[in-house]
Structure 1
Amino acid sequence: MKIVTEFPFSITEQEDMGIVLSDGCRLSARVWRAEGAGPVPAVLEYIPYRKRDGTLPRDEMMHAYVAGHGYACVRVDMRGNGDSEGLMSDEYTIQELADACEVIEWLAAQDWCNGSVGMMGKSWGGFNCLQTAFLQPPALKAVVSVCSTTDRFADDIHYKGGCLLGENFGWGAVMLSYSSRPADPLLRPDWRADWLTRLENEPWLAPRWAEMQEKNDYWKHGSVSEDYARMTVPVLSWGGWADNYMNTVAHLVENVPAPVQGIVGPWVHQYPHTAVPGPAIGFLQVALRWWDRWLKGIDNGAENDPAYRAYMIHSEAPDASAKHRKGHWVAESAWPSPRVGRQILALGERSGEGQPSPVPTTRALGANVALHKPVRINTPQHLGMHTGEFFPMGLNAEMPGDQASDDALSVCFDGAVLAEPLDLLGAARLSLTLASDQPLSFVVARLCDVAPDGSSVRIAHGMLNLCHRDSMEAPAPMPVGQAVDVAFNIDQMAYRLAAGHHLRLALSTTYWPFLWPSPRPATLTVTVGSLDLPVHQGSENEWTPPEPEGATPWAHKVLRPGKTSRKIETDMISGTTALVISDDLGDVENLVHGLCTGESMTELWEIHPDDPLSARAVHTWEQRQSRGDWSVRTNAWAEMTATATHLRLKASLTAWEGDTKIFERHFDDEVSRKFV
């Protein structure tokens, strides 16, 4: 990345600007402003991740850069987080979004703001800038949303295709830890009393989310897909193929009536100027072009840029820690693209000891095709260990690895070896006629690129909780033994399979730890099936993005380096298989204000191949803060197990001031298994 130190405007910074809301709650904002530019547009980033330490390294490189081009960049800690007052009860609440609208109104009224406000963010911040745009506050003129969703039930960390994600539990543990930290005493003299109040009111959210196993009003709140017509604010949406929010960009570009554009690269869950796998690109320059057009009214033609730009990944060896992916940029003037046609592959079977083998045959558009004989799918519970994280953050083997071992446990359908490359752009759709021997069951589909050496790269995956076969709002158990027709989308993709490779569809009834297992092993009997593929006509590189740039990195000293490990372990006595993760981020000191911070985490995901009720997840998080003689520490512990009828989610939160334990609380919740 190129570090930029000279900008069109010099920058002034305020580390703690108070924004007092109508109910008296004071939010803390860090503000970078262009000096000598007169009233300028404001760009708001509004998240719970602590501007004083949590996101500070990326904030300083982004917000100073944008401010130096004639903006006021305002980074606000949400109510109940960081250095802001108040309490946070959940994610994307009515209170959170009302606060956002009030902050926007406040910013627009400042004498240093020209009345136009933009909103940006990644993940939580990407979510709430879309959700705030949905509410149409008058001063909000444009948003830049990165790694977000339009549908909180279908495409977030809780459920996917109606299946309960392991990350629902994992994210509950994360937030229990993240929100347990106090404000900085240098900014909040009342930090201790405020901290104790936070700890006493800290919610354990995983059971609340797990209890709502259908798309109800809770999930519809904050889902802009409920009424795209309300999206009248221009949107620039970003996603990454290595992230599980890759569907949002296409959904927005296809459905939002306001000016909207989307860009999807090869990246994990990070901003595109710092993300892996490369190539990283000049996210800040592209964002500035958007801000200049919609916040400053500069006629720069940004609205005429391609509607959908996607990095088409090329075949290469699987790598769970890939630093770079080969590929090229495709630029579509409209989405859906007229350059994408549909190709139907019928699912077939080879004879031979009753073992299904992959032989799809290319057919004209038409109905599903019956298999030569029924195919039964009943996969072991530990299948999925090479799936990777829901939202990988970096290079610690968090992306999908070689799928060959999981393929060997799956029922696979293989296409013919390609004589020439095959370009796929969009979402595939799988249609099946199947019966289940259990009322609660799911099916997982993985599209894979299989090389001549047998290695397998996951292109995209999709899944369906069969209770949701007809409706996400009104699920119903499967009628045991009765054949039903189901269809679901596999995730969006942009991928070129090389000549000599072949396409594989792998089906399974398990996907641990990405999905929490069904209460009993299920056998699915498939009699009819087809795969509808989005085939692109082919292209060369159609966009050359700017190279990544950023402002001066933060001044810090590493006090203790971090260390990470990720292992798959098999207990040869008990027979359990476990994914074991240890991520110690070390400790660092901020050389500007002297705050020392550190974080450590462990995860255990274990299961027996024959027993879904053996599934167990245990997470621990430690947060550390100190300066001089002052030090605090919190520890969050969480465990999830299950019986045939209930999910059990336990947790504890402990806090220390110095060496003295000042707080301890335990949680123990059971949730009925209605549809999972």
Structure 2
Amino acid sequence: MEVVNRFDRRVEVIENLFITMHDGTRLAARVWMPEDANSEPVPAVLEYLPYRKRDDTRERDSLHHPYIAGHGYASVRVDIRGTGDSDGVLRDEYLPSEQEDACEVIAWLAEQPWCDGNVGMMGISWGGFNSLHVAARRPPALRAIISASATDDLYVDNMHYMGGCLLSDNLSEATVMFVNNSLPPDPDIVGPRWREMWRERLEGSGLWAAEWIEHQHRDDYWKRASVSEDYSQIQVPVMSVGGWADGYTNAIFRLLENLDVPRKGLIGPWGHKYPHLGVPGPAIDFLNETVRWWDHWLKGIDNGAMDGPMLRAWMQDSIAPNPAYDERPGRWVGEDSWPSSRIDDHEYVLTRYTLDDFVDSTEVRPRPLAILSPLSVGGSGGKWASYAATPDLPTDQRDEDGGALVFETEPMAHDMEILGRPTLTAAVEADKPVAQIAARLSDIAPNGEATRITYGLCNLTHRNSSAAPEPLEPGTKYRIDVELNGLAQRLPAGHRLRLSLSTSYFPLAWPPPEPATVTVYTGESRLSVPVRPPRDADALLKDLGTPKSAPPMARRNLESGRHHWRTTRDLAFGTTTLEIEDDQGTTLIEETDTAVTRSATEWFEYRNNDVTSARGTTRTVRRVERGDWRIEVKTHTVLSSTSNEFILTAELDAYELDDRGSRRVYAESWDRRIPRRLV
């Protein structure tokens, strides 16, 4: 990362100011702006998050907010109501009140003497989501947005459910918010009210995991913050950004296809990170791209920001399987529109363990192939959303394929490049009312190594609708469509393409209520792969440069962390456990003399092939210390299930610390039984 120390405009920082909502609630903001903005007003750019500007995102904020401000903007970071140093309680994600507050913030920004009345909004993950949500509400001063690692549909493409299957990332994200929502504001910002505000949060935020598991179908709960319900509500330009290692790329294709506004899509090799921090690399000079975007849409500068292809994607080269990469080899490619008329679907027919080219005259006698996968299939699947902070990418798929139906092409005679979303259309039957299919595509090297390049999940009861699932009738044949995640991948000549089908993908997806054998009928089942022909114009694409940022905040590492993924098998008891430790140690933020400790551990386990033995456990510790102010929060959450219900238990403990030890100031526990509804 190249650090930029001098900008065209000298930047001043307002550590905190409060923006008062119509009901008297104060939202805490940190602002970077040119020193002369009061005499020469500038546009404002808003990032609006629940992740504590004072400490949690302070390091990341220090990289990009001063950079944007130095190029002539007021860059504003606001804590959502009930988080960080803002008043109130946050009771769930993406509530209407969150969006309404954002509209008030945007109106307030536009009226400030240092703002020229033009406002943009940007963010990654939660901030990418609410940028889309707020754009759909059309606040008058909002001129454009940048949405990174986000989705247009909270149910279809989010860390809660995939293809109607419950994801383990649902538990992971609930754990993040459980501890985050339980932290107090900073007394240096809010004064002596901090204990009262803390108590209100501890008592009022609730157990989000229970709410998310309650809503197992695509109902109004998910629709309320899904812009896919009506894309036409968005009437401002959109830059949509993501990475192939992340879980949030499919929405980019849908936004490009369905929005009717100026729009750009950018997909790199990255995990759940901004592209200037992107891992796997190569990271890019994304902050320069954001400034060009804002210069064009907020300042009206004709700088070519909309030149070039609508979609720009990193075409990944073949690589050996590895749970972590520093960089993914490949090259940038572009398409002028999406869907692209240049891309054709290549169809394969599933035959007896092979993928054969399909032509209209192809006649293949249907053959039933049955599979009941062991619960070990999925152990090499990695995380749904990779943060690339631990080795959380999929490993060699040969570990999985012994428990799957495998269909494979002959070695490729020529290179083949795939761009888009493959689709499996299959004729299947099951012997239980609820069953699932995991479909994986792998790049098979001549030496046999199998690198997963994409996958999809399908709860077969959702074959017609995720809003109104229907139980399967054992012995009845159904047609299912499984849309796999989008990808850009080159398969070299001599490599093979493999489709693997399994009835388990734990722990990425929670197992069905009981073991279910699924029969796939070859001959009646097809795989459609979007194949992209070469394009000479790709070689002329503008170089996106190497990453640049403002200077990082001053920090000291007081205690080192630990990161690992460790799988253990106890042969005596038949248990298999995946332990994921993400201990970030203790960091001193020198600007505020605040020490922050973060630690989280997850365990996913099962016994033999008993689907009712599946269990997910999380523990977190968060500590914040400065002088006499020392607090600690601990959480413990366990998810298990029977064939009829999910069982969710949780514990929350909050402490004040001093030299004599710890004093618990709050404790609460939950024990919830949630009926399974065809999940």
TM-score tier after normalising by the smaller chain length: over 0.9
Q: Which of 354, 359, 367 in structure 2 is aligned with 1:364?
A: 359
Matched, 1:515 2:509: yes
Q: How does 1:23-102 map to 2 (within 5 A)?
A: 23-37=23-37, 38-102=40-104
Query: Residues 452 and 371 of structure 1: is their aligned pair in 2 closer, same or farther, counting only changes over 3 Å?
Result: farther
Shift of 1:202: 2.3
Shift of 1:240: 0.4
1:105 equivalent in structure 2: 107
1:352 equivalent in structure 2: none
Shift of 1:303: 2.3
Mapped to 2, the partners of 1:245 and 1:481 lie a distance apart of: 36
Mapped to 1, the partners of 2:57 and 2:395 lie a distance apart of: 28
Mapped to 2, the partners of 1:140 and 1:662 lie a distance apart of: 43
Query: Residues 365 and 372 of structure 1: is their aligned pair in 2 closer, same or farther, counting only changes over 3 Å?
Result: closer
Shift of 1:366: 8.2
Shift of 1:175: 0.9
Q: Is the 8 A contact 1:329 1:542 kept in 2?
A: no
Q: How does 1:263-662 map to 2 (within 5 A)?
A: 263-349=266-352, 357=353, 359-364=354-359, 370=364, 373-527=367-521, 528-539=524-535, 541-543=539-541, 544-658=543-657, 659-662=662-665
Q: Which of 160, 182, 185 in structure 1 is aligned with 2:184?
A: 182
- Equivalent residue pairs, number: 667
Mapped to 2, the partners of 1:612 and 1:453 lie a distance apart of: 34
Shift of 1:608: 2.4
Deviations 1:362-382 (A, max 9, x none): 012689x65552111210012
| DSSP-derived class of the 2:299 partner | coil
Mapped to 2, the partners of 1:618 and 1:223 lie a distance apart of: 29
Matched, 1:196 2:196: no
| DSSP-derived class of the 1:273 partner | helix
1:158 equivalent in structure 2: 160
Shift of 1:196: 1.2
Mapped to 1, the partners of 2:83 and 2:586 lie a distance apart of: 21
Q: Is the 8 A contact 1:320 1:395 kept in 2?
A: no
Point out the more displaced range, 190-199 or 258-267.
Answer: 190-199
Which consecutive segments of 4 or more residues in structure 1 shift more than 3 A?
369-372, 539-542
Shift of 1:395: 4.2
Q: Is the 8 A contact 2:150 2:251 kept in 1?
A: yes
Shift of 1:609: 3.8
Shift of 1:464: 1.0
* Letter of the 1:616 counterpart: R
Deviations 1:280-311 (A, max 9, x none): 00111111111111111111122233100000
Shift of 1:675: 1.3
Q: Which of 138, 141, 147 in structure 2 is aligned with 1:139?
A: 141
Deviations 1:218-237 (A, max 9, x none): 11011011111111110001
Shift of 1:361: 0.8
User: Where in structure 1 are there 5+ consecutive unaligned residues?
Assistant: 350-356
Q: How does 1:206-245 map to 2 (within 5 A)?
A: 206-245=209-248
Query: Residues 253 and 365 of structure 1: is their aligned pair in 2 closer, same or farther, counting only changes over 3 Å?
Result: farther
* Letter of the 1:138 counterpart: P
User: Where in structure 2 are there 5+ consecutive unaligned residues?
Assistant: none
Q: Is the 8 A contact 2:408 2:497 kept in 1?
A: yes
Mapped to 1, the partners of 2:514 and 2:678 lie a distance apart of: 13
* Letter of the 1:328 counterpart: R
Shift of 1:565: 1.6
Deviations 1:15-43 (A, max 9, x none): 11110100000000000001225111100
Mapped to 2, the partners of 1:164 and 1:396 lie a distance apart of: 23
Mapped to 1, the partners of 2:593 and 2:375 lie a distance apart of: 48
1:253 equivalent in structure 2: 256
Mapped to 2, the partners of 1:541 and 1:378 lie a distance apart of: 47
Mapped to 1, the partners of 2:77 and 2:179 lie a distance apart of: 21
Q: Is the 8 A contact 2:390 2:582 kept in 1?
A: no
Mapped to 2, the partners of 1:76 and 1:402 lie a distance apart of: 42
1:353 equivalent in structure 2: none
| DSSP-derived class of the 2:190 partner | coil
Shift of 1:601: 1.0
Shift of 1:546: 2.0
Shift of 1:173: 1.6
* Letter of the 1:444 counterpart: A
Q: Percent identity?
A: 42
Point out the more displaced range, 539-548 or 481-490.
Answer: 539-548
Q: Is the 8 A contact 1:384 1:513 kept in 2?
A: yes
2:18 equivalent in structure 1: 18
Q: Is the 8 A contact 1:126 1:147 kept in 2?
A: yes
Shift of 1:673: 0.7
TM-score normalized by structure 2? 0.97
